Amino acid sequence: MKMHIKKGDMVQVMSGVDKNKKGKVLEVIPSEGKVLVEGIAMATKHTKPRRQGESGGIVRQEAPIYASKVMHICAKCGKPTRIGRKVLENGDKVRVCKNCNETFNDK
């Protein structure tokens, strides 16, 4: 599945319990159409100590959410925006902000 969000993008959650929260994309899972966003969809996980000296307990960690529930935040205009695609004169394909036509830094 083609994803409009990439690792490292700043996104805003548009629906659900974490609506209007912002965070950085930690991981993209294209096979499931999900993304892992820093500080969003926190789930509790009970862990057992696996090695001697290691402590177990309850750990809070991010859970994946559907990529369709998040929108990219433009660095220039600071608003959640849809992403367009443009081919430059030199043949490079870039993502652009639909609001202000600013190109995003894709590394």
CA atoms within 13 A on the CB side of 11: 31
Residue 68 token pair: 């369709």
List the one residue out of 59, 17, 56, 12 whose CA is nearest residue 35: 12
The model's pLDDT over 36-57, given as tens digits with 9 standing for 90+, comes to 999 999 999 999 998 888 888 9
Q: Which residues contact 30 (CB under 8 A, 6 or more apart)?
A: 1, 2, 3
CATH 2.30.30.30 boundaries in the chain: 1-73
The model's pLDDT over 48-87, given as tens digits with 9 standing for 90+, comes to 998 888 888 999 999 999 999 999 999 898 999 999 999 9
The model's pLDDT over 10-41, given as tens digits with 9 standing for 90+, comes to 999 999 999 999 999 999 999 999 999 999 99
Query: Top-level CATH class of 1-73?
Result: mainly beta
